[in-house]
Structure 1
Amino acid sequence: MSKRNDNRPGYKKTKVGWIPKERGVGRLKDVCGKPVSGYSLKGGNRPAKQGEHGVLKLSCIQNGRFVPTENKFVKGNGVTKLRTPVRKGTLLVSRSNTDELVGAVCFVDRDFPYIYLSDLIWEVSGFNDSDPNFRWLTYLLCSDYYRAQIVARANGTSGSMKKITKPSFLGLSIPLPLVSEQKKIAEILSTWDTAIEQTRKLIDAKHRLKKALM
């Protein structure tokens, strides 16, 4: 965590660093329910089309963003085995992946009734609709500090794949600002993300135009 608030008046030292005195510290398990996973199927070599069913791939979680098209089309009897559709307002977690990506998270901003979790992806939800703000929690868990904490808690004998357990993930200590503060922080960071994404699209469009004219 940043050291800019060390010994600053109005701040206190905690296990997650220096935070405002009025803020508390808790664990993920204090504000999140038990993670729920899905069922993995072989699936097809393409994503599901509209009205079809699909099961998520690990690549659906990209830098805090949910990419629903990263799924495998499921047909026939396989559809009856799907059990956990992607729901609005939840956090998705990659419970098994490489060192760099194990425990990666993203926020889901709408329902996807035909897209389902695999057994390698958890859904995490709160105990109620407002605590915590899951957009804020996504930004927190994507920070360098928490990425390092999550990777350190992962284990596995494979040289390429690591796993994190539910107790290890839910045992993470986190600061607990007021929900109103969480929402404001998430709004500011989301605005920046939108601006960055729009800039990226403009640059890509410029490159395509330049290539077409050459």
Structure 2
Amino acid sequence: MEIIETKEDYNKSSLGLIPNDWKQVHLNEVAKVIDGDRSSNYPSGNDIVDEGILFLSTKNIVNSFFDYHDTRFISKEKFDSIKKGKLKKDDLVITMRGSIGNVARFTGVPFQTALINAQMSIIRPTGINSEYLWSSLNSFIMPRYLQKITSGSAQPQLTKKDVEKIPIPLPPIGEQQKIALILSTWDKAIELKEKLIEQKKQQKKGLMQKLLTGEVRLPGFEGEWKKVRLGKIGKTYNGLSGKKAEDFGEGKPYIPYKAIFDNSKIYINKFEYVRIEENEKQNIVKYGDIFFTTSSETPDEVGMSSVLLEDVNEVYLNSFCFGYRLNNFDTLIPEFAQFLFRSDSFRRSTFKLAQGSTRFNISKNEMMKITVLLPSIEEQKAIAEVLSNADREIKLLKKQVNFLKEQKKGLMQLLLTGKVRVKV
């Protein structure tokens, strides 16, 4: 796996300079592009079964890999009746609509075959190493090409001809295999780290379930927990009111909906801006405030919470959330609230309050009727510290994954242009 600095002569190509013993080809010169089935025989909701042949959609491609957590199946009989879109080992799959240009490689494990939906196409290598082609399509080449062909498009989508014309740098086959092997080393390291992150998230979830219900007590703590109604220990307030679209983009910082939905604590680098007139009456947030989302497309996503754990000056709250301010920190501390209001037991309570059909809403008055079990302040601090340590560990692992991805990105730039050659 030795990498050597190159002193080769180069030729010009649309990808830049490449070694003179490489070629630049179009994708259709080294692979066959096969559309997904778009006939009347295409599987519908009625064809979905509990077990059978894997039926893939664009959501199953995540970060250039297949994600099988949320999968659908069709019967063997239905699969056999369809002519197009069937996967073989070492096929690549590219998304053609929605989030376009995402490419994953089908390894044949754990599923030996699968059917793609109509929003994807198969790239079947015929004169190129499958792993090398997959790496090429997940490099700088793809975003550069997509920008060129979709510039100005309101709803970008790819055609078969678009995919066939993707430019590919083509080194000799031995070098392709070696480049693929080197890059796969980084892929495996990234995959292992991401699996570890998932394990740590599950461990934290288990800890929250046990520690936030009192099922397991930390050493040195005993005694009964107190049942408390939220309306008794704090008050609610509204977010921004009376604002128009032109008021946003500059002015004073405010906490957007996504910053609350995405994380259990507020990150101040996620603030956006809104124009606030002098003497305008709007509620200002402060340290320890807890924010809840009031609306979502699904009932299990309303009432998501986030806690402000930093001192800030003149920051406002978006219109689609409400604030909850504790009367004091003698009964509940913000650091504990960060985890309490994201726990499964509390989320079940908010889920029951969601009302609507196409969009679901939650009443802050009803939220204030929810009761929670609270340990002593000292036990709250201890539990919060254990869970915060788990968060810090996950955050560190995510940084390591990002570092590995940046390393791989830099290496791809060198190897896939021949600026650095591999010794075969």
Q: TM-score range by the shorter chain?
A: 0.7 to 0.9
Change (3 A) 1:16 1:148: closer
Trace 1:50-199 onto structure 2 (pairs within 5 A): 52-74=52-74, 79=79, 81-83=81-83, 84-97=85-98, 101-110=99-108, 112=111, 115-127=114-126, 131-154=127-150, 159=154, 161-199=155-193
What does residue 33 of structure 1 align with?
32
Deviation of residue 45 (structure 1)? 11
Amino acid at match of 2:203: L
Amino acid at match of 1:55: F
Amino acid at match of 1:88: K
Amino acid at match of 1:134: S
User: Do the aligned residues in 1 keep the contact of 2:101 with 2:146 (CA within 8 Å)?
Assistant: yes
TM-score, scaled to structure 2? 0.41
Amino acid at match of 2:43: L
Deviation of residue 70 (structure 1)? 4.6
Q: Which structure has the greater CA radius of gyration? A: 2
Provide the C-alpha distance between the structure 2 equivalents of 1:145 and 1:104, rounded to a whole number of angstroms: 12
- DSSP-derived class of the 1:13 partner: strand
Provide the C-alpha distance between the structure 2 equivalents of 1:78 and 1:155, rounded to a whole number of angstroms: 39
Change (3 A) 1:85 1:56: same
What does residue 17 of structure 1 align with?
16
List alignment gaps of at least 5 residues for structure 2.
212-424
Change (3 A) 1:156 1:33: farther
CA RMSD of aligned residues (A): 3.1
User: Do the aligned residues in 2 keep the contact of 1:91 with 1:108 (CA within 8 Å)?
Assistant: yes
Provide the C-alpha distance between the structure 2 equivalents of 1:125 and 1:64, rounded to a whole number of angstroms: 16
TM-score, scaled to structure 1? 0.76
Change (3 A) 1:85 1:145: closer
**Identical columns (%):** 25
Q: What whole-Å deviation, never above 9, does each CA across 1:146-176 have from its counterpart, x for those lacking one?
A: 223124324896x4x4221111211122211
Provide the C-alpha distance between the structure 2 equivalents of 1:61 and 1:124, rounded to a whole number of angstroms: 14
What does residue 42 of structure 1 align with?
44
Relative contact order, CA 8 A, sep 6+: which one is greater?
Answer: 1
Provide the C-alpha distance between the structure 2 equivalents of 1:45 and 1:116, rounded to a whole number of angstroms: 13
User: Do the aligned residues in 2 keep the contact of 1:43 with 1:73 (CA within 8 Å)?
Assistant: no
